[in-house]
Homo-oligomer: A and B are copies of this chain.
Amino acid sequence: MRYLTAGESHGPELTGIIDGLPAGLPLSEDAISRQLFRRQQGYGRGGRMAFEQDKAQIVSGVRFGKTMGHPVALKMINRAYHKDKDNWPVVMSSVPVKDQIEKITLPRPGHADLVGVQKFRFDDIRPVIERSSARETAMRVACCAAARELLGFFGIQIGGHIIQIGESGYASWEAVRDTADPVISEGGNALSETADKSEVRCIDSGISEQMVAEIKKRRKDGSSLGGIYEIVVTGLPAGIGTYTQWDRKLEGLLSQAVMSTQAMKGVEVGIGFEAGKRHGRNVHDEITWEDDQYGRRTNRAGGLEGGITTGQPLIIRGVMKPIPTMLKPLQTVDIVSKESRETRYERSDVCALPRALVVVENVIAPVLANAFLEKYGGDSVGEISERYPARN
């Protein structure tokens, strides 16, 4: 399974192609749009009042509600483009235009603005903004949601929740576990469903309130916030992934998926960075045999040992930096005049983390789906089910 996305933020459409899904998988625009909807929800958005819901259209690859083993093409209409017909179709025109289009020449620190211009030798930052912005993650989520459906078909559920926003958060990994594990015991879906009830996707109501208060404070300050999230995947069989070659290890592939998502600055598995501070006896998970299967006394490894799933829940945590666009300006340099300048005032969200969580939940799905398919093979979910009975 592999996928490519294309599209600029204010172009007419975002496009995605996901190739390698087996045939016979139930797949609907609703299932995809559900993830897109979740990606749009969350406290801390800026003031664009009536923003409309993203919808992905399945353009091909699905018939009568099921995949055909063909590549699946998805598209999302960019409403801004189509609403503001006097502006965007001109500014983002694929053909030369007569009008003088104002160039953006003030790179915003923390965005790809300056590096993009340095890379491509542009004299206008707009192309960089249009492709590097978080808008791209909408189509990435759409593509990956299809892989998530495949996992779900076989009982593999992805959940996620927020554990830190700025200074507000859990005291420790154990504190997270105490709150999250009872929910997770019902499956990964339960975790996301519970988190979705909080406007900051935090399942602890007390911490949730602190987070909201902190966001309000930073909005007033003209600053912004990032934070830390946790993803938990349940229902994974033991033994997928491999230790045999470096580029096939699940820790590596999952980290790539997470860290290639906009604004991510770190990722960890299980107790993660905490593992560097503990001594060994407090890190490794003793092995048990109960009910005719292997188990673990603890899951500090986060479900992965040596590039392979243990059958315990997979636990990944990541950090998102604060949104670089802020009300109060930062110092920058005009790329044409080379004069020192302040960034321009731009309306922006204060904290994108609750939404970014949904992105990361989805982007890890193709990695897991590929490892699953490598072991269980097959051209259709029917064929795979003979080898690995469907669980949903």
CA–CA, A322 to B281, complex, Å? 9
Whether the Cβ atoms of A121 and B331 lie closer than 8 Å is no
Q: A239-B379, A333-B289, A377-B377 are known contacts. Are A326 and B280 too (CB-CB below 8 A)? A: yes
A284 CB contacts on chain B under 8 angstroms = 109-110, 321-322, 324, 330
Overall SS of chain A's interface: mixed
- Please give me the 3 A-B residue pairs with the lowest Cβ-Cβ distance, nearest first: A377-B377, A112-B306, A252-B260
Alpha-carbon gap, A162 to B353, bound state (A) = 31
A279 touches B115 (CB 8 A): no
Map CB proximity to B onto A146-189 as digits: 1 under 8 Å, 0 otherwise: 00000000000000000011110100000000000000000000
- Which residues from B are CB-within-8-Å of A12? 59-60
**Per-residue interface assignment for chain A, residues 326 to 359, with 1 indicating a CB less than 8 Å from any chain B CB and 0 otherwise:** 1010111100001110000000000001000000
Q: Are A259 and B255 in contact (CB under 8 A)?
A: yes
Cα–Cα distance between A281 and B302 once the two chains are bound (Å): 33
A14-52 toward B: CB 8 Å interface, digit per residue (1/0)?
111101000110001100000000000000000000000
Asked if residues B319 and A8 are in contact (CB atoms below 8 Å), the reply is: no
* B375 in contact with A378 (CB, 8 Å): yes
Show 11 A/B contacts (Cβ-Cβ < 8 Å), sorted by A.
Answer: A6-B61, A29-B95, A68-B127, A109-B296, A131-B243, A223-B281, A224-B279, A252-B256, A265-B302, A283-B324, A286-B331
User: Contacts A70-B131, A269-B265 hold; do A279 and B8 have CB atoms under 8 A apart?
Assistant: no
A273-303 CB contacts (< 8 Å) to partner B: 273, 275-281, 283-289, 294, 296-297, 301-302
Of B63, B109, B251, B265, which one neighbours A273 at CB under 8 angstroms? Answer: B265
Size of A's binding interface in residues, CB under 8 A? 161
CA A288 to CA B330, docked complex, whole Å: 11
Given contacts A94-B65, A245-B4, A324-B280, whether A306 and B379 have CB atoms under 8 Å apart is no
